[in-house]
Structure 1
Amino acid sequence: MGRRLVPLTLDNLKDLPQRCRACVFWELDPVSGEAAVRGGTAELEKESWISAVLLEWGSCGRVVYVDDAPVGFVLYAPPAYVPRSLAFPTSPVSGDAVQLITARILPGYQGQGLGRVIVQTVAKDLLRRGFRAVEAFGDARWEGPACLLPADHLLSVGFKTVRPHPVHPRMRLELRSTLSWKEDVELALDRLLGAVQKEPALRPL
C-alpha cells in the first residue's frame, strides 16, 4: 500500500470531499460566510482563500493519498487567516501557535496509522517554520460531524485546555511532543480525524 502526503494546492483542492471544498465556515467571518453560502459562491471563496494563504504564508494543508486515491486531508494556518476564529469566546489563538482548522480521514481508511502520520507531518512542517504549537477550538457538546473537532477527542491525543469554556474551549498541543508518538495514539487519532465528515449549517456561536 503506497501512501503519500502532498501539500494542498489549487491543483489538488478537487481531491477534498465536495462538502469540504465548498465549506467556508473558518475561511470567512460569519456574515460573509452566510452570504457566500446563500449566493452559491462558497467554493470560489474557498479557492480564493487557499490561493491567498499559499501566496502570503505558504503551505496550509496536506492531502493524503493511498494508492493514488485521496483518503484524507488537514488544513491549518495562522489565526490571522482564519476570520471565524475571532467569533469564539475563547479567542485569540496564542501568538506562537498555528490554528488547526479541520482534518479528516475517510472511514474506510481509519485504523491504518494515517492520523498519526498526518499530525506528525504537520508538526514537522510548522516546527521548521518556527512555530511551537498548534491550537484548536474544541466543541464540548459535539453531537455529530461538524467543522469543529470534539473537545474530548482532542484531549485524548494530547491537547491541553488553555482557556476553558463550557462549549468552545481553546486547546493546545505542543508540536515537539507529537514527534515521539507511538502506535498507542493511533486509535484516538482515528476517532478524532474521522469525526469531521460534512459541512455543518452555519450557525451563530
Structure 2
Amino acid sequence: MSVSIVRLELGSFESLPHHTRRCVFWEVEPTTNGQAYESEFDKEAWISGLLLEWGACGQVAIDSTTNSVIGTAFYAPPNRVPRSQHFPTSPVSHDAVLLTSIRTEPGHEEVATILLDAVLGDLIRRGVRAVEAFGLVRNGAGGAEFGGSIGATPSMSEQPGEAVTGVGLPDLDFWTDEAIIEVAREILEDSQADLCTSCMIDASFLKNSGFDVVSSHQRFPRFRLELDEGLGWKFEVESALEKLVVMAEIDLTGRQRTAVPVGSGAGRVSAKRSPRPEGPRKCKCP
C-alpha cells in the first residue's frame, strides 16, 4: 500500500470520512444534554475559519491505490478549540499548538505515526515552539503511569507542569468506550459527558511518540513535545543534507558540462598525458 500525506484544504472536505466530517467534539462548546454533538456545517465552518486566519489545521492520509482517505490529524491554537478548556488538566500552555486528534480508518493504524510526523514538520517550519495534546488512558489500570492512582477519586485542581515518569502499561484488558464514558461522567463536569473517544488520542501513543506528561491525571493526562529541543535538530539536519545533495548534483552537472569530450579538437590535450615531442618519424618497413 502506498500512502501520501497532504494538507487539508476546504475543497477536499467532502472526501473526509463520515465521522471526521461531522463530529465537532473539539470544535464547539460542549453540550449539556449528555449527547454527542454532530454538525457537518459547524465542522466545515471551523476548518474554513482556521485556514483563512491561521493556516493549515489538518493533515490527511490518502491510500494512493484507492484514492480514499484513511486517516486525519487536526491541530489548532488552543483558543480556537473550545473543548480544551473543559479538561481537568487544562489549560494548554500559551506557547503551544494543540494537537486535538489523530484518527485512522480500521486496518490502517500504522498511518497514525506518519500523520504525526506531517503535523510536526508543518509546525516546525512555521516556527511553533511546542505541541500539546490531551491523552486518553484506555487501559483500566494504566492511569498509574500518568500520575493517577487507580480506584481513587482524581483531583479536579491538579496543577500543570508536574512531569511524571512511568513504567510500562500492565497487560490488562482494555476498557470499552462505554466504560470510559461512564468514568468520564463521574470525574468531569456534566458538560464533558458527551466524550468522543474516537476523537481523542491514546495516552500510550503520545508517550511512545516522545511526548512528556506535563499535567498528570489517571484518565486525561496532558502531554507536551518541545519542537525546538525535541525534533528541530532532525529537520535542520535533513534540510542541510537535502541542500548538500542538490549542491552535489549541480557540481556534478557542471563538471560534466565542462569536461572535454574525446576527439573534440586538435588543440585540446589530456591533462594526464604529455604531448608527444615533434621529431622525425621512423618507418617500420619489412
> Alignment partner of 1:108: what SS?
coil
Instruction: Indicate the residue corresponding to 2:210 in structure 1.
Output: 158
1:104-146 superposed Cα distances (whole Å, 9 cap, x missing partner)? 22233344xx333322221121112121221111122463452
Instruction: Indicate the residue corresponding to 1:168 in structure 2.
Output: 220
Q: Please report how far the alpha carbon of residue 19 of structure 1 lies from its aligned counterpart in structure 2 after TM superposition.
A: 1.2
Decide which moves more: 7-16 or 27-36.
27-36
Structure 1 length as normaliser, TM-score? 0.76
Q: Does 1:55 align with 2:107?
A: no
Whether contact under 8 Å (1:36, 1:45) holds in the other structure is no
> CA 1:132–1:33 in 2, change beyond 3 Å: closer, same or farther?
farther
Identity value in percent = 44
- Bigger strand share: 1
Whether contact under 8 Å (2:212, 2:224) holds in the other structure is yes
> Alignment partner of 1:73: what SS?
strand
- Structure 2 unaligned runs (5+)? 140-174, 178-196, 236-286
Q: RMSD in angstroms over aligned alpha carbons?
A: 2.5
Instruction: Indicate the residue corresponding to 2:121 in structure 1.
Output: 124
> CA 1:69–1:56 in 2, change beyond 3 Å: closer, same or farther?
same
Give the residue type in structure 2 aligned to 1:101. T
Whether contact under 8 Å (1:140, 1:150) holds in the other structure is yes
CA distance in 2, matches of 1:33, 1:21: 22
> Alignment partner of 1:109: what SS?
coil
CA distance in 2, matches of 1:147, 1:109: 16
Decide which moves more: 116-125 or 170-179.
170-179
1:76-126 superposed Cα distances (whole Å, 9 cap, x missing partner)? 111011000001121111122111111122233344xx3333222211211
Which structure has the bigger radius of gyration? 2
Whether contact under 8 Å (1:120, 1:178) holds in the other structure is no
Whether contact under 8 Å (2:58, 2:73) holds in the other structure is yes
Q: Does 1:22 align with 2:22?
A: yes
> CA 1:117–1:151 in 2, change beyond 3 Å: closer, same or farther?
closer
CA distance in 1, matches of 2:23, 2:104: 17
Decide which moves more: 2-11 or 128-137.
2-11
CA distance in 1, matches of 2:22, 2:210: 30
Q: Which has the higher contact order (CA 8 A, sep 6+)?
A: 1
> CA 1:168–1:2 in 2, change beyond 3 Å: closer, same or farther?
closer
- Structure 1 unaligned runs (5+)? 182-205
Q: Please report how far the alpha carbon of residue 55 of structure 1 lies from its aligned counterpart in structure 2 after TM superposition.
A: 1.0
> CA 1:3–1:153 in 2, change beyond 3 Å: closer, same or farther?
closer
Q: For 1:138, which of 128, 135, 138 is the aligned residue?
A: 135
Instruction: Count how many residue pairs are aligned between Structure 1 and Structure 2.
Output: 176
Runs of 4+ deviating beyond 6 Å:
32-36
Decide which moves more: 45-54 or 125-134.
125-134
CA distance in 1, matches of 2:226, 2:46: 27
Q: Please report how far the alpha carbon of residue 30 of structure 1 lies from its aligned counterpart in structure 2 after TM superposition.
A: 0.6
